[in-house]
Amino acid sequence: MLGIAGALAFSAVASAQELEPRAYSASPVGANFVLLGGSWSGGEVLVDESLPVSDIESRIDSLFAGYSRTFGFAGRASSLAATVPWTWGAMSGNVGETRRSIERVGLADVRLRWAVNLLGGPALSPAEFAKWKQPTTLGASLTVVAPTGEYDPARLVNIGSNRWSLKPELGVSIPLGKWFLEGSVGVWLFADNDDFFGGKRREQDPLALLQLHGGYQFRPGFWLAADANYYRGGSSTIDGVESDDLQANSRYGLTLSVRLSPGLSAKLAAATGLTTRVGGEYDMVLLAVQYLWFDR
């Protein structure tokens, strides 16, 4: 039964299934962003067919708030961002011949991200940036997920993960007139959970992630992107016993960004599963509003 834990953890949904266009496009220094939004995810959870569980359905609703700031770092454009999510999750499934359901509500794991442009993205003021024609840019980032979410070791399914996670990543952004292409490759690295479900130790292998995006910018702040990803790995071990929960999954979707007024924009994204070996085969909708201002 413990082998289903990786597939059912609410906290794991955002980490692997993310689709983030324009994550490596250039920005001027001295920009501040505040983000407020919500997301809905729901669908089937696929587990090892040999386990005595079946017909698992899950729904996860989240509200989130975030802040990001751009600055110069060794002459390159860089940024720091933090996101705080609040999550409500519900899950139901058959255990043997009995239908069971659970609900979890509370703070999820906080996410921090540092990014820096390595090539093609110098640190420019807003005035300099307005006159600059963006070339192909190469960037790097480090995402850190802190174990701040609600967690109870007496429960198999939790909102929080009770461990640290890191994702180093490289990304490229290629402008082609009003079109753009982007890609990134990264790997999630997981610390051990030393207090998993009754005091057990849960380890998880690295999870490699590839993202691809292509889009069209109609005018500044108004763009549409097609998104796809593939992630593989993440097998877990519980007290030395290996679980059959290798992930080899892919997703695709669309992201629309619209400028509502100077400094204010909205983003609408939708995604669904393409292939799923183990884990959530979810449909997802996200809506967020972002406000931008510059240092004086």
Whether the predicted model's global pTM rises above the 0.85 cut: yes
Positive or negative torsion for Cα 277, 280, 281, 286: negative
pLDDT digits (tens, 9 = 90+) for 32-55: 999 999 999 988 887 666 566 778
pLDDT in tens, 50-68: 566 778 888 999 999 999 9
Strands 222-233 and 236-238: unpaired
Span 132-157, mean pLDDT?
A: 93
**Domain of 97, in residue numbers:** 2-294
Q: Give the highest mean pLDDT range of 17-26, 29-38, 93-102.
A: 29-38
User: Stretch 83-99: mean pLDDT, rounded?
Assistant: 87
Burial track 28-49 (b if 16+ CB lie within 10 A, e otherwise)? bbbbebebebebebebbbbbee
Please state which of the ranges 12-21, 133-142, 166-175, 256-265 shows the lowest mean pLDDT.
12-21
- The total number of structural domains that make up the chain: 1
pLDDT of residue 66: 96
Q: Please report the pLDDT score of residue 3 as a whole number.
A: 40
* CATH code at position 130: 2.40.128.130
What do you get for the CA distance between the two ends of the chain, in Å? 57
